[in-house]
């Protein structure tokens, strides 16, 4: 297994994407150790002192006024984890759990949480030896931290809960033992440090962001194919149009589409004498829409990159003074906003893609393509209902794009009276991305079919490679056949980045 060594506070989106996509394990750079150990000593001293310190020698939440005796601090932390293992629903995907564990390591690695180094090492080894806690999907409101899901993760560290090891679901202690590890009892504040944080919400938001970016890249490729299928104009891609507006994503989207369509004989065939003055917005305004979505995704990415490097538990040990100070970094409002922004971008990429599908199957609007892209309309229905499916998915995503961060409810006897709802705001991105991948897959099928109807005129070399990649899995539709598996196959090609890569054209990246 590949192991990344990362310095807390300087991790990039590219690093995080590797952990998510490749399942890389993580070790903290050893330069983080002195600060981690120093903060742990501050907490240990406070646990034995006379001054009440939240979560160290007091109860939690509404029970913060109750003092805990030094001999009970270990029991306090164990009880905290067990009582907070109150999540429900299906286990989250292993890739998300591993990303969440990595994010927790990075947060603890800032040296403000007061945990012992041996806990850092155990979490590192769990990643390296593929011990994946079973974490239920539901139960977090995104403040004070993702308490329930992070408690399920932490339970395995103390030998409780459950984990997946070598394909088996085992009790926590047995899962650790299966790979030669042992549980570690928690000391003062350590349970609180593990469950007070935004790592569940941030992991889901990052996964949603990464998948949305792959979809956005694919959308630029597929929409270029759709443009040739309906013999659309490339005049709206003129660079000066986009430079006059100045938005980076729009400029990049137009440049990418120009490169994708370069050398298309279909385009050259109607450059002169075309009776159409302007194309519909779903063709003409592609850079303005997909480019704007890319800008939004990048903005969300900047927020999530900051959050991935943040110390988000409470209280925190301040290195400048050695004080232990209560704050609210566990509140996942920034993550909630980023998730809502990502949802809006996903929805809009799908909305304009669906209109291109509708355009291509409509013989009134498709510039002489046969109805529903079948050679024998009437006898065959072609992609008639595939277009309906895309409309259903588009509408579903519109509903799912409704902001979650604006919804709050008081919890914990009104102590936690405003929450972010970032957890399910981020979780819904997976479903939205699946819908978007299927919309783009349907557009891919329609666009390839449309371009093939323009034969003997060929599309550009880049887009010919895209069609070849599709046709390796899905043959051209001649007579009606059972198409559901083909829709899924096309969606997979989108999700895996195969279509984007097939064009062999430089595509926009996060860092641009």
How much is the pLDDT for 62? 74
Residue 163's SS3 state is: strand
How does pLDDT run across 154-183, given as a tens digit for each residue?
Answer: 999 999 999 999 999 999 999 999 999 999
How does pLDDT run across 137-147, given as a tens digit for each residue?
Answer: 999 999 888 99
Give the pLDDT mean for 8-34. 96
- Say which residues have a Cβ less than 8 Å from residue 61's Cβ, sequence separation at least 6: 144, 412, 413, 415, 416
Residue 435's SS3 state is: helix
How does pLDDT run across 391-422, given as a tens digit for each residue?
Answer: 999 999 999 999 999 998 888 877 778 888 99
How much is the pLDDT for 1? 72
Question: What six digits make up the tokens of 170?
Answer: 């085992």
Question: What six digits make up the tokens of 252?
Answer: 């990049």
Q: Rounded to whole angstroms, how far apart are CA atoms 12 and 21?
A: 14
317 sits in which H/E element: strand 316-317
Provide the pLDDT confidence category of residue 74 given band limits of 50, 70 and 90: confident
How much is the pLDDT for 415? 77
Give the pLDDT mean for 454-461. 97
How much is the pLDDT for 51? 87
Contact call for residues 486 and 442 (beta carbons, < 8 A): no
Catalytic-residue membership of 54: yes
- In this prediction the pTM is 0.96
Q: Residues of 445-471 as b/e, b for ≥16 C-beta within 10 angstroms?
A: bbbbbbbebbeebbbbebbbbbbebbe
In percent, the amount of the chain with pLDDT more than 90 equals: 86
| Parallel/antiparallel/unpaired status of strands 25-28 and 3-6 | parallel
How much is the pLDDT for 176? 98
How much is the pLDDT for 71? 83
Half-sphere CA count of 51, side-chain side, radius 13 A: 9
Q: Name the phi and psi angles at 122, rounded to 5.
A: -65, -45
How does pLDDT run across 93-107, given as a tens digit for each residue?
Answer: 999 999 999 999 999
Half-sphere CA count of 12, side-chain side, radius 13 A: 6
- Say which residues have a Cβ less than 8 Å from residue 165's Cβ, sequence separation at least 6: 130, 131, 132, 175, 178, 179
Q: Rounded to whole angstroms, how far apart are CA atoms 86 and 92?
A: 15
162 sits in which H/E element: strand 162-165
Least confident of 13-27, 57-71, 368-382, 463-477: 57-71
How much is the pLDDT for 249? 97
Give the pLDDT mean for 334-345. 97
Encode 253-270 in three state secondary structure.
HHHHHHHHHCCCHHHHHC
Q: For residue 234, is the peptide bond before it cis, meaning its omega torsion is within 30 degrees of 0?
A: no
What DSSP designation does 486 have? Answer: H
Question: Is the pLDDT confidence value at 347 over 70?
Answer: yes
Give the pLDDT mean for 361-376. 95
In terms of C-beta distances under 8 Å and separation of at least 24 residues, what long-range contacts does 278-283 make, across chains too?
278/233, 279/230, 279/232, 279/233, 279/236, 280/355, 280/359, 280/365, 281/352, 281/355, 282/352, 282/355, 282/356, 282/359, 283/226, 283/227, 283/230, 283/232, 283/233, 283/236, 283/356, 283/359
The mean pLDDT value of the chain amounts to 95
Provide the pLDDT confidence category of residue 512 given band limits of 50, 70 and 90: low
Catalytic residue among 20, 54, 281, 482: 54
Question: Is the pLDDT confidence value at 64 over 80?
Answer: no
Tell me the β-bridge partners of 5. Answer: 27
How does pLDDT run across 186-220, given as a tens digit for each residue?
Answer: 999 999 999 999 999 999 999 999 999 999 999 99
Give the pLDDT mean for 323-340. 94
Q: Rounded to whole angstroms, how far apart are CA atoms 225 and 303?
A: 33
């Amino acid at each position: 297994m590949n192991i990344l060594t990362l310095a807390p506070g300087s991790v990039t989106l590219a690093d995080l994407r590797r952990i998510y996509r490749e399942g890389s394990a993580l070790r903290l750079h050893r330069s983080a150790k002195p600060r981690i150990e120093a903060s742990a000593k501050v907490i240990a001293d406070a646990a034995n002192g006379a001054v009440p310190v939240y979560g160290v020698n007091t109860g939690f939440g509404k029970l913060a006024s109750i003092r805990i005796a030094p001999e009970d601090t270990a029991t306090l932390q164990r009880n905290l984890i067990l009582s907070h293992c109150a999540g429900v629903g299906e286990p989250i995907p292993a890739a998300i759990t591993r990303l969440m564990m990595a994010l927790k390591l990075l947060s603890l690695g800032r040296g403000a949480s007061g945990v012992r180094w041996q806990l850092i090492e155990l979490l590192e080894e769990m990643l390296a030896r593929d011990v994946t806690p079973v974490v239920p999907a539901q139960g977090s409101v995104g403040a004070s931290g993702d308490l329930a899901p992070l408690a399920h993760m932490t339970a395995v560290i103390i030998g409780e809960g459950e984990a997946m090891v070598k394909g088996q679901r085992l009790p926590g202690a047995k899962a650790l033992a299966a790979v030669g590890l042992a549980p570690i009892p928690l000391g003062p504040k350590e349970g609180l440090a593990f469950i007070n944080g935004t790592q569940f919400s941030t992991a889901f938001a990052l996964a949603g962001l990464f998948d949305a970016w792959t979809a956005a890249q694919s959308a630029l490729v597929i929409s270029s194919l759709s443009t040739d299928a309906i013999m659309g104009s490339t005049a709206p891609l003129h660079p000066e149009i986009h430079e006059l507006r100045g938005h980076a994503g729009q400029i990049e989207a137009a440049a990418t589409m120009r490169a994708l369509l370069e050398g298309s004989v279909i385009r050259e065939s109607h450059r002169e004498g075309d009776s159409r003055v302007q194309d519909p917005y779903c063709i003409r305004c592609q850079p303005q829409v997909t480019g704007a979505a890319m800008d939004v995704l990048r903005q969300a990415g900047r927020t999530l990159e900051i959050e991935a490097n943040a110390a988000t538990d409470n209280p925190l040990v301040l290195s400048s003074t050695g004080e232990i100070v209560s704050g609210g970094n566990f509140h996942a409002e920034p993550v909630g906003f980023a998730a809502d922004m990502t949802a809006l971008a996903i929805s809009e990429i799908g909305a304009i893609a669906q209109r291109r599908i509708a355009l291509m199957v409509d013989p009134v609007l498709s510039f002489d393509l046969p109805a529903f892209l079948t050679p024998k309309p009437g006898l065959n229905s072609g992609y008639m209902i595939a277009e309906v499916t895309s409309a259903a998915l588009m509408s579903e995503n519109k509903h799912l794009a409704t902001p979650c961060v604006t919804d709050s409810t008081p919890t914990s006897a009104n102590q936690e009276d405003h929450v972010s709802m970032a957890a399910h705001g981020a979780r819904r991105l997976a479903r939205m991305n699946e819908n978007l991948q299927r919309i783009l897959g349907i557009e891919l099928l329609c666009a390839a079919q449309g371009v093939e109807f323009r034969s003997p005129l060929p599309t550009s070399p880049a887009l010919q490679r895209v069609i070849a990649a599709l046709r390796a899995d899905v043959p051209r539709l001649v007579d009606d056949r059972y198409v559901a598996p083909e829709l899924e196959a096309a969606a997979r090609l989108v999700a895996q980045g195969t279509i984007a890569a097939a064009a062999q054209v430089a595509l926009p990246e996060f860092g641009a």
